[in-house]
Amino acid sequence: MADDAKPFLQVENLTVRFPVKRGGMFGGKAYLYAVDDISFQLKRGQTLAIVGESGSGKTTAALACARLVPAHSGKVVLDGQDFLAASDVELRKARAKVQFIFQDPYSSLNPRLRAEKIVREPLDSLQTIPAEKRDEVVQKLFKAVGLRPEQMRLFPHQFSGGQRQRIGIARALATQPALIICDEPVSALDVAVQAQILNLLRDLQSDLGLSYLFISHDLGVVQHMCDEVAVMYMGKIVEHASRLDLFNAPQHPYTKALLSAVPSVDKERREAQKRILIPGDPPDPIDPPKGCRFANRCPIAQDICSRSEPALEVKRRGQGESGHRAACHRVDVA
């Protein structure tokens, strides 16, 4: 039996970089560090959200964890196995443990395949279940995600957006994974349909003991779904805390600015909440500053912020087991 006290997913010093050609005939090679030395862990049956603006590196980090983009360095241990060091044969077997739910239900499904074939594809590819049992598994998956048996023969264009995402969820569940990476799974859907899909994901997690790595820019969705939250800015994790700690007592100025934009139904909170605007533009990702990458846009930055990069460390104990960590020199006044 697995030890639930140990992290199911442990990411250590993960770095992903992409070569970028400098201008001119004799321009040298430079690198864009999309993910720069990040570490986090996820327990079995829990949900960790990685949030941030577009371009912060959150999706690239998730893709690297599943070895869908190559990591430059670091370690990803999934259920005791070093995923990045696995051989091609080992990786093929390990892939059954990790599946994706993609952002766009309109483009992530093959329009030429019937729904039953789309859901069955991972079973045929990975061959984790005997061929004679696969039809039965597909039928059970359709029922689990709230689709009717007669819909199995339909093509993707015959479904609504929410139904297409249910097909995507059924496909992700086909190999009985323990980790599902949800990459903005509801951002392309109407608000009412978003709630249905989020509730379905929560119910499936409870019933099947799934672990979710949840990628999102929508903090309202994150507040509904997640146990812990990691905030990324320019390839770095700048804050990591339990959901309650992060939303009730954010430490980093960037996190505070993000939270100030989240609408609230609480009238008192809405009146007390002041919108924090982030001025300026992010620094050059190919040539990031020496110190804090948020310093040039931070309202409380001082000289030390430009000179020295702050470590991601515990600033207060908080409710999460790893404490409330923030990468900021000025947490005391943030």
Question: What 3 state SS string does 23-61 have?
Answer: CCCCCCEEEEEEEEEEEEEEECCCEEEEECCCCCCHHHH
Give a yes or no: residue 126 inside a domain. Answer: no
Instruction: Give the position of tokens 């570490």.
Output: 39
In one-letter notation, the amino acid at residue 4 is D
Identify the domain containing residue 282 by its residue range: 252-334
Q: Are 121 and 171 in contact (CB under 8 A)?
A: yes
Give a yes or no: residue 316 inside a domain. Answer: yes
**Length of the chain, please?**
334
Banded pLDDT at 319 (limits 50, 70, 90): low
Give a yes or no: residue 222 inside a domain. Answer: no
pLDDT the model gives residue 2: 44
| Per-residue DSSP letter, 299 | T
- Over residues 90-148, the pLDDT tens digits come to 888 888 889 999 888 888 899 999 999 999 999 988 777 888 999 999 999 999 999 99
Banded pLDDT at 60 (limits 50, 70, 90): very high
Give a yes or no: residue 115 inside a domain. Answer: no
pLDDT value at 15 more than 70? yes
Give a yes or no: residue 64 inside a domain. Answer: no
Give a yes or no: residue 322 inside a domain. Answer: yes
pLDDT value at 36 more than 60? yes
Tell me which H or E stretch contains 139: helix 134-144
Q: What whole-number distance in Å separates Cα of residue 16 and Cα of residue 61?
A: 8
Give a yes or no: residue 332 inside a domain. Answer: yes
Q: What is the residue-averaged pLDDT of the chain?
A: 89
pLDDT value at 278 more than 70? yes
Which tops the pLDDT comparison, 23 or 102?
102
Give a yes or no: residue 145 inside a domain. Answer: no
Q: How many structural domains is the chain composed of?
A: 1
- Over residues 213-250, the pLDDT tens digits come to 999 988 888 988 999 999 999 999 999 999 999 998 99
pTM check: above 0.85: yes
pLDDT the model gives residue 1: 36
Instruction: Give the position of tokens 């599902």.
Output: 180
Strand partners, 76: 11
- Over residues 256-268, the pLDDT tens digits come to 999 987 766 555 6
Tokens of 285: 């990702």
